Amino acid sequence: MNTTQLQDLLQQALPIVKQAGAFMRAEQSKVTSEQIEDKALNSLVSYVDKQAEVILVEGLQKILPTATFITEEETVQNKASAATWIIDPLDGTTNYLHGLPHFGVSVGLLHNDQLVLGIIYNPASDECFTATLGGGAYLNGQRIRVSNSPNFQASLFVTGFPFNEQARVTKNLKVVDYLKQHSRGIRRFGSAALDLAFVAAGRFDAYFEGAINAWDVAAGILLVQEAGGILTDYRGGTDYLFGGEVIAATPAIHAELLEVVREVYYSEEN
């Protein structure tokens, strides 16, 4: 897909994503406890997630009929092809269900095994982060870049904790302990998509998380790349879309964060 095609797709996809976001915003105060399901320990879903996904799938099918889908709620058959939409209809479900204004729609497009388009929209703040391959990253139409933080001491980090893997939680806490002593601080906001978007916008200097899925990070990966950030998996490789682990950081601090995370997760002592 060339630049013109990607921009055209982006402009067609934006109203669909915002429609799903508007639906979520309108329903936030209406969801009852009886309408919430536990997919797994601390992994929640409601009719809102599922209906938002239907809105996205039906709309995106119309603008790119040959594409397939990989979606969190599986309202359509998950299947990869030359063009694949990777969708999380509601990233930050727990925040959403508790009335916190930190959640979003995440839509990425994978074409010939390369991420080419990404949209992350928080309807509570009306912030829409967008990126196309080679076209840069934007927030509500304004160009964004990763921060120019020079080192760890001046950097603010963000992470997430797996809800069902205690061994990973323990290792993550070791990394957090290092960051507490060597950085400006660390946050846990509860939405991988928005964490990555905030790195792209320079609000956070780095993000790392394991035990995640492609729909959590697809759009955010492209945003960080187009904003000038560096991404790897926990071993320093490139398997960060489907590999379940991602480090996203500014060029100045990525190497040190990778060293810390790799030592904790993959050294022989651990």
Q: Which residues contact 53 (CB under 8 A, 6 or more apart)?
A: 20, 71, 72, 73, 75, 76, 87, 89
Looking at residue 130, its amino acid is T
How many whole angstroms separate alpha carbon 100 and alpha carbon 192? 15
How many whole angstroms separate alpha carbon 104 and alpha carbon 101? 9
Please identify every stretch of the chain with a pLDDT value under 70, giving residue numbers as ranges.
31-46, 163-164, 268-270
How many whole angstroms separate alpha carbon 106 and alpha carbon 131? 12
For the chain, percent of residues with pLDDT exceeding 70: 92
**Which tens digits make up the pLDDT trace of 96-131?**
988 999 999 999 999 999 999 999 999 999 999 999
Domains assigned to the chain: 3-143 (3.30.540.10), 152-266 (3.40.190.80)
Instruction: With beta carbons less than 8 A apart as the criterion, state whether 169 and 181 touch.
Output: no
User: What pTM was computed for the model?
Assistant: 0.94
How confident is the model at residue 14, as a pLDDT?
98
How confident is the model at residue 56, as a pLDDT?
97
**Which tens digits make up the pLDDT trace of 151-176?**
999 999 999 987 667 788 899 999 99
The dihedral of CA 131, 135, 136, 138: what is its sign? negative
How confident is the model at residue 76, as a pLDDT?
84
